[in-house]
Amino acid sequence: MTRPFEGIRIIDITHVLAGPFAAYQLGVLGADVIKVEHPDDPDQSRSSGTDRALNRGQMGTSFLTQGSNKRSITLDLKEERGREILRRLVAGADVLVENFRPGAFAALGLGYEAMQRINPRLVYCSISAFGQDGTRREQTAYDHVIQATSGLMAMTGTEEVNPIKFGAPAVDYATGTMAAFALASALFQRERTGQGQHIDLSMLGVAMMLMGSHLTGYLRNGAEPRPHGNKQPFATNSCYEAKDGLLMIGASNLGQQKRLWQALERPDMVKTDNEARETDRAHEAEVLAGIIKTRSADEWENWLQARHVPAARVRTMAEAVADPHFKTRAVFHHHQSTPGIEGGFGVPLAAFKFAHGGPSIETPPPQFGADTDAVLAELGYEPGEIAALRAARVI
């Protein structure tokens, strides 16, 4: 069965995380992704990750995370011959994704307007920290800087210890996912209009979307979100110490809190409205803390889930990955062998499954520039021309 983006060619001129993750998501759904890197300046992610040997070999785990199903070429876009190669690529491409400083590509004659003249159907996606316009346009940032700028850090942590950065680079991954959604939307729109599109996506904008309900609350009545750690507004929707660890209870709505209190044989604690729950929060928390201490977190998880009350023992990543639930979910893909890497490794694939034609990985993350000759040959370059380009460090 054909996957959604088979026949779609993506030129991925991005680095680190958000941009590469966007192209990766379309790649596992069938797109032909050509990753472009400078011959003397590999993607920073190639030398980042938990395995130093892989970092030294420009195959770091940060790159492996989102490198599958891509081809790798090297181009010096500051050289006219490098730009000419890119123009040839664009002529036959559907998507170009870049995440350099706003204006940098336009200054090289590679901006949206120039590329649109070459290929009017091109979907051109510019990912940046703050967007292509606005007072912060020229500023740069990474995930943690955006967390600080957006207010995410200020609302994260406990009442005593804050602000705290997320443990994972959630803004980067959310930006990549938002970009993949925007690209899919623009490609769908193109089917109707025949026209390409310029997508201007900012990490700061994505961070604000991640705080959607908090943002609406603030815009309505000035209620600024405060850090409260594992203590949610409702006591039945918070974290407690069990005999051997932490238990997160998720009895969020009125029906769930009723089932929780009835299961705990405390029907007297059931509330009929959320304001009453907020008013009695301290008392409810005290009662729950005393009860949860009587069993292990695993026992409570199984017991409460059997009674349709959301609850989970707080797990480490190692414990989460070992969960047999994943055996049927295809969230991860395991590469048995990969050029430049000794031994196998696993990568995230997708959080969803299709009944047919869904996400899959066919090729491992490529070594730096591994596909340069093949891609240039597809564009009509002869072996002698390719050798001359390499000698001149254009590729």
Neighbour count for residue 52 (Cβ, 10 Å): 10
First to last CA, the chain: 36
CA distance 54 to 46: 8
φ, ψ of residue 324 to 5 degrees: the values are -60, -15
CA distance 188 to 195: 10
Return the structure tokens found at 95.
């998507």
CA distance 206 to 167: 18
User: Is 172 a known active-site residue?
Assistant: yes
Question: Tokens 């009835």 correspond to what residue?
Answer: 262
CA distance 223 to 216: 9
DSSP designation for 77: T
Q: Where are the alpha helices (DSSP H) in the chain?
A: 18-27, 52-56, 61-64, 80-91, 104-107, 112-118, 143-150, 170-193, 203-210, 212-221, 254-263, 274-279, 281-292, 297-305, 317-321, 372-378, 383-391
SS (H, E, C) 296-326: CHHHHHHHHHCCCCCEEECCCHHHHHCCHHH
Catalytic residue among 133, 172, 268, 323: 172
Q: Which long-range contacts (CB under 8 A, 24 or more apart) does 310-313 make?
A: 310/249, 310/250, 310/251, 310/252, 310/256, 311/247, 311/248, 311/249, 311/250, 311/251, 312/247, 312/248, 312/250, 313/242, 313/245, 313/246, 313/247, 313/248
CA distance 375 to 64: 21
DSSP designation for 151: T
Residues known to be catalytic: 172
